[in-house]
């Protein structure tokens, strides 16, 4: 059996934390109300962190808290107390980028494991060995690492290595960006990124005239997806597979966690097959709203990994509803509606740690059991027939498997 890596999922809220763990995450990473690079996420109060840790530990999962801003002098006040509170809440580790956090953590929260953030841009074994000597237990490698870089670091260090396998990329090296601050006075390195790399820009000729047919120029990279390289990463000994997306929806987080959970388990047991790999790719690419690429894993990248113009990010309408219960007597699912569906549609039930299956929506009833033809009201409770009982918080989605 191949050594099984940890599957690490994003959790932008307490609700998302519980969904991620239900769908198979071994660990989640979250942000508190301070010191996190996702300031626009809902983030966690200290009480929510405690609740999240308790839920995770009861389900054999871990919680890591991002403390990964680049600190200015005014940011340091209160850091020791905050880390001490995280230790008291039994958080498993903190994810940091600024070296000052090492000394503060050792003084105020010595039981916390220290995970070095991708923001530190570790790309070589010597840098990794330096942080290993400082007491860091895990390094989240820069997303610009190639397969050879990753293997060299693993072979020459004695430290856990975590790698991103799916999600958004940054235009700048591991997120070291000043464009957001320059254009909008929102500091990307202190949690305020406005994603200026996804803005549309005009192109000018040498006379400073706008080139009209290229007016929507962007500098954004396509999203990262290493779904085709999971086995290679397992073979070289990556300790943790990280999914990006603390700002993403419940549907997105649940779907990518569920797919990668099954892929890792199948590879570990050596019962993987091409049919499931192809299905996994189809599900993952359908769930996202941007194009994907393996980025730097196979070496230096070019124009195929980058958006330049005419980029489209369409809103995904595949998420039809959430299973809230099952009526054994009538053999009906109780669905909380999220997007429009109608009588006669075909759909898929996607469940935690179970195979997905087709369902024909032959009838729809409202919560009073009156027949209706269409479910069009968000959060409305409706009933649809289903021959099979499925777990609470399974997902009803558009039939995308044909």
- 323 token code pair: 């299973």
CA dihedral sign, ordered 320, 400, 347, 258:
negative
Structure tokens given for 331: 């053999």
3-state DSSP assignment of residue 318: coil
Question: Going residue by residue through the chain (402 aa), what tens digit of pLDDT does each one get?
Answer: 467 999 999 998 999 999 999 999 999 999 998 887 655 556 799 999 999 999 999 999 999 999 988 898 988 999 999 999 999 999 999 999 999 999 999 999 999 999 999 989 999 999 999 999 999 999 999 988 999 999 999 999 999 999 999 987 777 777 677 777 777 777 666 666 777 777 777 778 888 888 765 557 777 777 888 999 999 999 999 999 999 888 788 899 999 999 999 999 999 988 888 888 888 888 888 777 677 776 777 877 777 666 666 556 656 678 999 999 999 999 999 999 999 999 999 999 999 878 888 899 999 999 999 999 999 998 999 999 998 899 999 999 988 766
H or E stretch covering 72 = none
Question: Residues 287-336: pLDDT tens digits?
Answer: 776 777 767 778 777 776 666 665 566 566 789 999 999 999 999 999 99
pLDDT, tens only, 121-150: 999 999 999 999 999 999 999 988 999 999
- Backbone φ/ψ region at 331: left (φ over 0), alpha (ψ -120 to 50), beta: left
Q: How many separate helices (H) and strands (E) can be counted in the chain?
A: 11, 20
Neighbouring residues of 67: CB distance < 8 A, sequence distance ≥ 6 = 32, 35, 36, 79, 82, 83, 94, 95, 96, 101
Q: How far is Cα 202 from Cα 214, in angstroms, rounded to an integer?
A: 7
How far is Cα of residue 91 from the mean position of the Cα atoms in its chain?
19
C-alpha–C-alpha distance, residues 48 and 42, integer Å: 11
């Amino acid at each position: 059996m191949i050594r099984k890596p940890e599957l690490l999922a994003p959790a932008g809220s307490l609700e998302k934390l519980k969904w991620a763990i239900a769908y198979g995450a071994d660990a989640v990473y979250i942000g508190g109300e301070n010191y996190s690079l996702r300031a626009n996420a809902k983030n966690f109060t200290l009480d929510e962190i405690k609740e999240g840790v308790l839920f995770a530990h009861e389900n054999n999962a871990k919680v890591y808290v991002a403390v990964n801003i680049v600190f200015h002098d005014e940011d340091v006040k209160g850091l020791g107390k905050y880390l001490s509170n995280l230790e008291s809440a039994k958080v498993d580790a903190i994810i940091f980028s600024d070296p000052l956090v090492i000394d503060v953590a050792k003084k105020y929260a010595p039981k916390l494991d220290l995970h070095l953030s991708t923001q530190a841009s570790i790309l070589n074994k010597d840098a990794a060995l330096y942080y290993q000597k400082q007491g860091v237990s895990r390094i989240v490698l820069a997303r610009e690492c190639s397969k050879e870089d990753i293997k060299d670091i693993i072979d020459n260090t004695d430290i856990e290595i975590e790698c991103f396998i799916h999600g958004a990329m940054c235009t700048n090296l591991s997120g070291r960006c000043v464009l957001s601050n320059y254009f909008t006075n929102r500091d990307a390195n202190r949690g305020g990124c406005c994603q200026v790399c996804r803005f549309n820009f005009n192109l000018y000729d040498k006379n400073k005239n706008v080139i009209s047919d290229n007016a929507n120029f962007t500098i954004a990279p396509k999203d990262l997806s290493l779904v085709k390289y999971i086995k290679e990463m397992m073979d070289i000994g990556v300790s943790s597979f990280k999914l990006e997306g603390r700002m993403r929806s419940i549907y997105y987080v649940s779907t990518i966690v569920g797919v990668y959970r099954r892929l890792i388990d199948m590879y570990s047991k050596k019962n993987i097959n091409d049919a499931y790999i192809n299905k996994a790719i189809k599900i993952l690419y359908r769930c996202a709203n941007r194009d994907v690429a393996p980025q730097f894993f196979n070496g230096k990248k070019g124009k195929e990994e980058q958006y330049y113009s005419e980029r489209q990010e369409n809103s995904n309408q595949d998420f039809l509803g959430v299973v809230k219960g099952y009526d054994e007597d009538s053999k009906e699912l109780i669905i909380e509606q999220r997007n429009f569906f109608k009588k006669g549609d075909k759909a898929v039930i996607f469940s935690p740690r179970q195979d997905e299956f087709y369902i024909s929506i032959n009838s729809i009833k409202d919560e009073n059991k009156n027949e209706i033809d269409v479910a069009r009201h968000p959060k409305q409770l409706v009933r649809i027939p289903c021959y099979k009982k499925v777990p609470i918080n399974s997902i009803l989605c558009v039939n995308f498997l044909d």
